[in-house]
Amino acid sequence: MRLGVLTGGGDCPGLNAAIRAVVRKAEGTGDEIIGFLDGWRGAIEDDVIPLDVQRCRGILPRGGTILGTSRTNPFKVDDGVKKVFATVEAHGLDAVLAVGGEGTLSASRALSELGLPVIGIPKTIDNDVNATDVTIGFHTAVQVASEAIDRLHSTAESHDRVMVCEVMGRHVGWIALYAGIAAGAAVILLPEDPFDIAAVGDHLIRRHQKGRFASIVVVAEGAKPKPGTLELPPPEIDQYDHERLGGIGSVVAEEIERYTGLESRVTILGHILRGGTPAAFDRMLATQFGVAAVDAAHDGAIGEMVALHGTKVERVPLADAVGELKAVPVDFADKLCGLFSD
């Protein structure tokens, strides 16, 4: 077979592990494989490189992606779709393995419905792709965020401060919830559950009246105040109509200080959660997904995505993975946060 692989959307730890697994499996099976540079851009512009095991040596623990990535959407570029088909045909590819999050996988689904042989591999630190328990990159992001919040505790205690820690999570709060619980935050603000800054302030005042002089507030970048409670500046929009966020932590810290009189500081972790070496879990997951995607290509499972269900890697239609995001169930978050916030 002849296969192509691309990484699209925001990068995350574990992309190189996925590329390496795809290439090793493909070469072991006698397939030839090329990589598209910068996600769908490489497919539109026929910007490709040959890949083999030698090229992938040493990349397993490396963050980022050797193929580069972009948020280019073929449906938003003039003749983009036609050009993708032409490139795939010119290279005689039997399948394109697209490693991506919601945006890249939505484009993959639409292209596969037009007849392009695409197979999806889910990645994103946000963990918001449906039909899979977890995506490549999520565990590393949670680990890095938890370690950072652990460090904020001691400085918060030394100064009797409220430390607000903003983490990525544009539409969903999986990182905020997992890292906040793992690192003992007093308050966790999720996009799924609009917050009232006065209620947050009252909770912190109660804590501090009980003698807790330091509090950690974890806020997902996409967290939203309840209507009419707090004004936020409007965000920019990208090619997939995604909002470019970042900065709500500063507003929350200022408002907490103003409302409670407690000295507050903000730390925005941002892209730190996307960089650097992947945790062992993500290396393993990426390897399993890469191998499974090549198997899927051999089985003709076009228009499908590999997914983790429990301990098993299975296949689901791309259509089941995109369209709607996998949000944090608010009752699940409430149960955990209620236990540990006092």
Site for ligand F6P in 50-109 (CB under 6 A): 101
Closest approach of ligand F6P to the CB of residue 148, in Å: 15
Best CA proximity match to 305, nearest among 125, 135, 126? 135
Q: How far apart are CA 121 and CA 296, in angstroms?
A: 11
Q: How far apart are CA 77 and CA 133, in angstroms?
A: 32
- Examine residue 144 and tell whether it contacts ligand F6P (CB under 6 A): no
Q: How far apart are CA 5 and CA 24, in angstroms?
A: 13
The binder of ligand F6P chosen from 25, 109, 170, 315 (CB under 6 A): 170
Closest approach of ligand F6P to the CB of residue 63, in Å: 13
Closest approach of ligand F6P to the CB of residue 67, in Å: 16
Which of 126, 128, 193, 282 is catalytic? The answer is: 126
Closest approach of ligand F6P to the CB of residue 12, in Å: 7
The binder of ligand F6P chosen from 112, 124, 140, 288 (CB under 6 A): 124
126 catalytic? Reply is: yes
Q: How far apart are CA 62 and CA 227, in angstroms?
A: 42
Site for ligand F6P in 250-309 (CB under 6 A): 274
CB nearer to ligand F6P: pick between 37 and 116: 37
Q: How far apart are CA 216 and CA 4, in angstroms?
A: 45
- 289 three-class SS: helix
**Alpha-carbon torsion 44, 45, 50, 56, what sign?**
negative
- Examine residue 117 and tell whether it contacts ligand F6P (CB under 6 A): no
Residue 140 contacts residue 279 (beta carbons within 8 Å): yes
Closest approach of ligand F6P to the CB of residue 186, in Å: 23
Q: How far apart are the first and last CA of the chain?
A: 58
DSSP 22: H
The binder of ligand F6P chosen from 4, 8, 10, 117 (CB under 6 A): 10
- Examine residue 126 and tell whether it contacts ligand F6P (CB under 6 A): yes
The binder of ligand F6P chosen from 244, 258, 312, 335 (CB under 6 A): 244
C-alpha dihedral (173, 17, 105, 103), degrees to nearest 10: 50
Residue 220 contacts residue 191 (beta carbons within 8 Å): yes
CB nearer to ligand F6P: pick between 23 and 279: 279
**Which residues contribute to the site for ligand F6P (CB under 6 A)?**
9-10, 101, 124-126, 168-170, 221, 244-245, 274
